[in-house]
Amino acid sequence: MIRVVCKGKLKPGANVEEYLSLARQVVAETRKEQGCKMYTYHQDINDPSIITTIEEWDDEEAIKEHNQSGHVLKIVPKLREMRESTEINLYREV
């Protein structure tokens, strides 16, 4: 099992609701993917411009397939345009 934590900071003036609307589309499609155990977005309580994705996958192959899926290739670039920074970390339970 692999957990992915992707923390994004939106650009000043970015429309948070528009971002979350796009993100919800990614969530809906991703949860249908083989190998996806969990895929959720979280908004920072103290700074609503920080949005973090927490994911759980069976293995790295499932993540690779996810990253090449149609909805990711279509929507994620739009999300990236709205962020000023992104930090992605992959974890294995020890």
Dist CA 58 CA 35 (whole Å): 5
What does the pLDDT average to over 59-85?
97
Residue 71: predicted pLDDT = 96
Q: Which helix (H) or strand (E) holds 78?
A: helix 70-82
What does the pLDDT average to over 70-89?
97
pTM: 0.89
Q: What is the pLDDT of residues 6-64, one digit of tens each?
A: 999 999 999 999 999 999 999 999 999 999 999 999 999 999 999 999 999 999 999 99
Which amino acid, one-letter code, is at 81? E
